[in-house]
Each structure stands twice: as structure tokens, then as C-alpha cells.
Structure 1
Amino acid sequence: METIFNSSKNALPKSKRPVTNPKTLVFLAVAVLLTTPLNYAFGSITVILFTLYALFTAKKEDFSFNIALFMPVALFLLMVASLIWSIDFKSTLKALSKEIPLLIIPVVFFVIRLWPKQQKDILKFYSWGMFTYALFYVIRAVIKYFETGDTNVFFYHELVTKDVNAIYVSVFMSVALFYFVAKRTKRKFDYLALAFLFVFIFLLSSKNILLTDILLIILYFLFWSPVSKKTKWTFAVVFATAIVIAGYFSKIKERVEVEFKPDTEQAVQDMGTRAITIAQAWNSETFSQNDYFNGTSFRVYQIRIFTEMIQEDPVFFQGYGLNASLVKVKEKGDEHNVFKGNETHRGYNGLNFHNQYVEVFADLGLFGFLILITMMLLNLKNGLSNKDFVHIAFAILMIALFLTESFLWRQRGVVFFTLLYCLFNKELYSSVIEKEKR
């Protein structure tokens, strides 16, 4: 990699090489993050600009290898290699274009010099940008409410559109929330942004993300906050109580009831004649076209068919190929007769695993799974070593999110994760200087 880098740099006359402007680098990194909720074209353009600027202004002495940053590259290289054995070559080849950020973003961080102030500025401007997004979404919902009188415009996908996805926006907003929570010196506007972002995440009604955020906020005040122990425990109790009360009277209650009481009258009325329980999802040989899976039972069904696929096909080590397992998922859907879809609803057999750990195992086998686990553990380890709450919170949030979403198999997810992962795990330049002095 260093040889390639040196060759490309030598192609430019030394006197003509531009000098890296830290502010421009920060601006472009923030632009990449803030365009993730927008149309994919905007995200692609900002990633290209960020990459080109970093590569053409980098210096040889700034190059540094980092094992944590190499792991996304290794995952991408395995994706490319899976073309060799993929059972659906066209799908694998098409999916690779979405996964390129796993390669180019770490390369950018290999060749740039990153100071602590730059890292903090990226997080600061990103967090205020997310606050602006949240404000925009709420104002738009208010306008829709006065037009329709429908309170659903304030919740879940209706609040941010199904295309952008409430779960993904919850993740974007959560990182901004952690920045404001961890900020030592808070002004009035910081408290306002913190409260507003938390309420916004609450409205998005993503159970997994919301519960993870609540746990992390409580942990922050118990172990990182500078206030007295009595105040910490008082806050933890009051905060947890308030959340339980608020949850009881909100849309969260309805969504939790659908998960744990899938046979509720509303679920049956909306989705089918029979709501499938967790036990039925794991044990039933066949289903009917009127059967409804809630989020939990559907994920149990998917894990169940994954175990069947691994037992039936010799793909334990290499997987089916990037994005190729969907072929087998559809076959399993036909075998078990799950809902195949109609004019208004997509069939269950057309959905991926909605679990990043299972998804990567099915597509890339044991080796892909081990790379992913190594990435997650290194991310958490480095956060704990640096005693950086925002980094730790990001690491835990990703671990939890990957249990319910194939986040890295979506363009928004892979760009967002890879840039923040590299930002947090890149060795800051001040640390390099300290090591050299020793």
C-alpha cells in the first residue's frame, strides 16, 4: 500500500503539490457524514471529494499503518474475493460498488495527519448538523399535522420517511446526542440540543436504539460525570423512572406490545389472520400466506433458516458470496411458505437477515464473521483505552445495532460506520509525537 502511495505522489511535481488545509479536511469529513440522510448521489460526491483531497494533499511522512483501520479493508478484500465462489455473481458484483467506502475511507485515514482538535471539530459540527436535521424533521411534521390532523406524522418512519429509515436516523442522531452528553462545559444551547435530540430519538421509536441510548446515558452519569455520587444515583433513578412513564403513554408502548404480544387485535387486523410467536417462528415447518411476523419473531425465523442453510450447504468457511445469500433466503421462504408479497407489501422471503453478524456469516463465511467481530472488539477496546465516552458509546451502539440491522450492507450505513470508525480509531498526531519523545 505504501508503494502505491509513493508512486502516486511522485507523479506530482514537488513544487506543485498542494498543502493540506486542516479546516478543509474537517469540512469535507463533516460533509460526508451530514449527507448520509440525503439522496445517495450527495453522499457519493462528498466521499469522492474527501478522498481526492486527502490523497492529493497528503505527505509521505504522514502515512501510518493501523491494524484497526486495516480491518474494514480486509473485509472489503474478502467481499471482492467472494466473486470467485459466489452463487449469484451479478448480485455480488453489483453490491461491491456500495461497499467501496470500506476500502477508500480507511486508506484516506492511513495518509492524513489528524490532530485531536480536528477530531473534536468533526464531531462538534456533525452534532450540530444533526440537531438542524432534527429541527427540520419536526417542523415538517408539524406542517403535515395541520394539513392532515394525523399524529402519526410525529413518529417512526412517518417522521423521517421510510426511505431514509427511522432506525438509521436514530443511529445518526444518537452519536450527536452522545457528543452533547459528554461535553464537559455545556452552554444553554448545548442543553437544549441534548434534550431536543433525545426527544427526537424517542419519537423515532426504535426500541433497540432507544434502550441502548438510555443505558449509555445512565452509565455516563454514573461513571464519567464529574458530579457527586448522590447526584449521580438520584439522576439515574429519576431519569429511568421518567423514561418508563413516558414510554407507557407513547407509541413505544404500542410497538413493544406488538413485539411481546404479537397476537394483539391491532396486529392481526393490520397484518394478517395469525400473528406468529417466537416459538412458532423457530419450530413451525410451514406457514400460511396470512401469517404475520413481528420484528422479533421474524428475526428468530431468519436465524433459524440461517442455521438450516449452513447445515445443508458446504459454505461454513467462505459463505455464499456478498449479497448472494438472498437467493437461499428466497428458497427457504418458498420451502416454509412465508408471505411472498403482493402489490402493496414486500414478501418476507425478499428481505435480508436484518442482523449484521448473521448476514456477514452467510455471505462471507467464518472468515468474514471473524473480521467483523475483530473490528467490533478493537473499536470497543480502543475506546476504553482512550477513556473516550463518545467512542465507547459509538462502539456499544454499533454492537447493539448489528443485532437487528444489516447496517454495513446499506450505502448509508457503510459510509457512516466506516468514517466514524476510522475517525475514532485513527491514532491522533499528538499521541504519535508523545511516543517519539519517549
Structure 2
Amino acid sequence: MQKILTHQRLFSISLVAVSLVLVTLPLKNNLNSFSILFLSVLALFQWFGTQEKAKMTPVFWAFIGFFVWACLSFFWSDDQQESLKAFRKLLPFLLLPISIQFVDQKSTKWTTKILSYFSLGMVICSIYCLLFANINFIETKDRSYFFYHYLSEPLFGMSAIYMSLFIAFSFFFLYYQAPFKSWQNKVLLFFLLVMIILLSSKVLVVSTFLILIADQLKRKKYKALILFIPLVLVMLWKSFSSDQIQQRVILEVEKTNVNEVLTTEKFGQVYHWTGFGLRLFQAKCFYELFDRDKKYIQGYGFLASQEKLTEKYQEYDLYPDFFSYNFHNQYLQTTADLGLFGLVMMLFLLLMGFKRALTEKSPLFFVFILLMTLICITESVLWRQWGMVFFVTLYCLLYLQPLQRTSN
């Protein structure tokens, strides 16, 4: 009996430990790092306690291999001082797969419970941001506080892109799994959908609605679409009535001159960049750097490409505030820092995720990998702790326990 109670207690602690890794993501990084350390110590304790032979899921070795390759890049790095940070910054790639593999997750409800806590955590964070937005609006009468970075910033400087990613995943978890009572689930779904629109990440807003519409068409829920599409249009109209959001959309459509971005030799410090224009220019810089230095296989070294990119910003006479900007594209960022070998490992993880999701018929896992694949086009998401921990933790959880759809 004592052994059974001990096992149950360890299971509960493990559940809390993994949940904390996700729930603390929107909070300060040191809290999240402490959660990862706590989970790692617990996993080590349980591994020794079970006296079972250690084994790892083969795909998880790709995470560890990615970490090892980043650390090895120190030896050929063009900026060894920066590359030395690989061991500290990328530790989640090493610790999380091992820890999640070894902690006790035999219960079929393991992943569902953890993701339920994470989704509720994102609801609480959203309410917190909306409260601050209301306070700021009352004081200034400025509606911008309800949108984009202005909305997410009160949450310890949280980026709207990453918060949108967390909320979009939470939304689809509720959509596919329906872990709460029907009316509760519907209220939370509607609330999170509103938050996705307010946070105004173009990639995630469009992706969310296209996935929803495709799923409804696949399941032949035409009546639901008749109600759903007008509702979405009204919400979008209300959201984009903000002057700030209007300006962002207008600038993207009218001010991006592709030919100018690709051919101009000196932009000057007053050049008006759009999001797409800047990312196109960064892709151009990537091509020019690799064409010049031939760092195809190994890259410049972890984080060492930033110095080279900054040199390009200076060469094209960009405003100094841009000098700290990375490639804003994880595929380019990984190739620049870790070469084609690093990119292949990253693509291997994404492809194996898609394969596992399709084989196990897990729409939630499929949507998760799809969202990560898309957001990596516009953000160097895996080079930030928010994105790194989110990706590795959820990948491992869903790979070990792919959740089949339970909601109609």
C-alpha cells in the first residue's frame, strides 16, 4: 500500500511539474527556467527510483542531437563568445525530452490534464491583459491598448506573436478535446477566438480561421458555417476598426515595394519598412551572406550570424534600431547559425510530427505542428525561450500521447 501511495504521489507531482513548465511560459523567464529545472530533478529521481532500464523514443534523440550540434558550433563559430551561450539557452532541447520521457505519464489522461491547465492559464493571462487594456483606455481613450503588442505587453513584456501562438493552440485543444462542460467549453472557445483577433498576428488569425472553416466543411457542418462566418466578419471588422491595426494592414498592402527592396543599394535611415518588406530584405541578406562566405554545412555558429546580419544592415544604411533584429524566419535563422545540417534536424522533427499525427489520427497534434511550421516563416521562434519551451514540451507530450478527437 505504501508503495502504491508513493507511486500515486509521484504521479501527481509529475503532473504538476510538467504543467508548471507550460503555465509559467507567459511569466518571467526565470520562473519558467526554475520549472524546467524542477521537472528535470523530479525525472532523475523517478528514473533512479523505478530501477528500470533507461530508454528514449528515437525521435527525441533529434532534440538532443540539435542541442549537441549547437554546442559543437562553438568550435567553428565566427563569434565564439555568443556561441558559448548555446549550452545555457538551448538546455530545454536537452532537458525537456529526457524529463518528459522519464517522468510517470502512464495515465491516459496525463496530457489532457496538463493541456487543460495550460489553456485555463492562458484564459487567466488574457483576462489580466484585458483588465490593463481597459484601465489604459479609461485613462487615455486610446483603443490601441486592446490590440497587438499593446494588449500583451502588460504581461511581463509578452510579445503578441507568442501570446497569439499560445492562445491559438489552447483554442484548438478546447475545440478538438472539449475537456470541460459543453457551455463552459463554448464560452472559453469564443473568448479565446476574440483574443486571437485582438492580438492581430496576421499569420495566426488567418491560419486559425482557415483551419476552422476547413474542419467544418470536412465534417459537413454547413449550418454552423452560416452562423460562424458572419460572426467572424463582425469580429474582424470591430478589431480592424482600430486606427493602429488599419495602418498596419494598409502599409503591408500599399507600401511594400518588392522590386525596391530587392534592388536598392542604400535605403537610408528614414526608409519606411513594412513587416513583409523587412523579412524579404532579411532573406536577401541571408542569400548574399551565404553566397559570399559559403557556410552551407556548418553555418556561422549558434547566434554568430547576428554580427554578419548587422554588418549587412550597416552596409545598406538602415536605421540603427534595426541592428539587433534577427532573421525573423526560423528556417533562415537555423541555417545561418547551424548550417544545412541543423536545418535538416529541425525539418526532421516537423516531418516526424506530421507523420505521427496522421498515423495516430490526432488533429490537435497535426494543427500544433502546422502552426509551428507557419510561425517559423515569420519569426525565429525557437531562438526565444517562449517558443523553444512551448515547441519542445508540447511536441514531446503529443508525440508520446497523440490525442484523438473527442469533440463533435
Relative to the length of structure 2, the TM-score reads 0.90
1:33 corresponds to 2:30: no
Determine whether 1:178 maps to 2:152. no
Partner of 2:335: 361
Secondary structure in 2 aligned to 1:82? helix
State the Cα distance separating 1:350 from its structure 2 match.
2.1
How far off is 1:140 after superposition?
2.1
The residue type paired with residue 35 of structure 1 is: T
Tell me how far 1:96 sits from its aligned partner: 3.3
Q: Say yes or no: does 1:109 pair with 2:100.
A: yes
For structure 1, which runs of at least 5 residues remain unmatched after alignment?
1-14, 263-275, 341-345, 429-438
The offset of 1:107, in angstroms, is 1.0
Write out aligned runs for 1:11-410 (5 A). 19=7, 21-58=10-47, 59-61=50-52, 63-114=54-105, 115-161=107-153, 163-184=157-178, 186-223=181-218, 229=220, 232-236=221-225, 238-251=227-240, 252-262=245-255, 277-340=257-320, 346=321, 348-410=322-384
Deviations 1:11-54 (A, max 9, x none): xxxx9xx7462221111111111111111111011111111112
Question: For residue 271 of structure 1, what is the aligned residue in structure 2?
Answer: none
Paired residues of 1:323 and 1:363 also in contact (CA < 8 A): yes
The total of aligned residue pairs comes to: 387
CA distance in 1, matches of 2:227, 2:55: 47
Q: Which amino acid aligns with 2:337?
A: D
Between the aligned partners of 2:201 and 2:314, the Cα distance in structure 1 is 30
Question: Is residue 109–residue 426 contact of structure 1 (8 Å, CA) maintained in 2?
Answer: no
SS at match of 2:272: strand
Percent identity between matched residues is 31
Q: Deviations over 1:63-102 (max 9, x none)?
A: 4321222211111111001001000001111243111000
Q: Which amino acid aligns with 1:305?
A: C
State the Cα deviation string for residues 187-206 of structure 1 (Å, max 9, x = none).
21111111001101110011
Cα deviation, residue 249, structure 1: 4.4
Secondary structure of the structure 1 residue equivalent to 2:26: coil
Task: Verify the 8 A CA contact 2:71 2:86 in the aligned structure 1.
Answer: no
Structure 2 spans left out of the alignment, 5+ residues: 403-408
- Call closer, same or farther: CA 1:88–1:28 in 2, change over 3 Å: same
Distance 2:263 2:392 in 1: 37
- CA displacement 1:116-163 (0-9 Å, x = unmatched): 211111111111111111112112211222122221111111111182
Structure 1 residues 259 and 237: CA distance shift in structure 2, 3 A: farther
> Closer, same or farther in 2 for the Cα pair 1:418/1:289, shift >3 Å?
same
- The separation in 1 between residues aligned to 2:257 and 2:365, in whole angstroms, is 37
AA matched with 2:166? F
Report how far residue 246 of structure 1 moved: 3.5
Residue type of the alignment partner of 2:149: H
Whole-Å separation in 1 of the counterparts to 2:80 and 2:319:
27
Partners of 1:241 and 1:259 in 2: CA distance: 25
For 1:383 and 1:395, locate their aligned partners in 2 and report how far apart those are by CA, in whole Å. Answer: 9
Confirm or deny that 1:419 pairs with 2:371: no
TM-score, with structure 1 as normaliser: 0.84
Letter in 2 for 1:43: N
Match of 2:84, SS? helix
Whether contact under 8 Å (1:62, 1:111) holds in the other structure is no
Superposed CA offset, 1:353-411 (max 9, x none)? 00000000000001001011111111111112121221111111000110011011011
**Contact 2:79–2:301 at 8 Å: present in 1 too?**
yes
Which of structure 1's runs of 4+ aligned residues deviate more than 4 A?
Answer: none
SS of match in other structure, 1:319? coil
Shift of residue 241 of structure 1?
Answer: 4.4
Worse overlay, 298-307 or 139-148 = 139-148
Task: Compute the displacement of 1:253 (Å).
Answer: 4.3
Contact 1:137–1:160 at 8 Å: present in 2 too?
yes
* CA distance in structure 1 between the aligned counterparts of 2:400 and 2:27, rounded to whole angstroms: 27
* RMSD, matched Cα: 1.9
- How far apart in 2 are the matches of 1:403 and 1:241? 30
CA deviation vs aligned residue, 1:213-269 (integer Å, no higher than 9, x gap): 11222233233x5xxx2xx1343354344434543443354422221112xxxxxxx
Counterpart in the other structure of 1:266: none
Question: 1:109, CA displacement in angstroms?
Answer: 2.5
CA–CA distance in 1 between the matches of 2:142 and 2:13? 43
Question: Cα distance 1:256–1:240, how it changes in 2: closer, same or farther (>3 A)?
Answer: farther
Structure-1 separation of matches of 2:36 and 2:310: 34
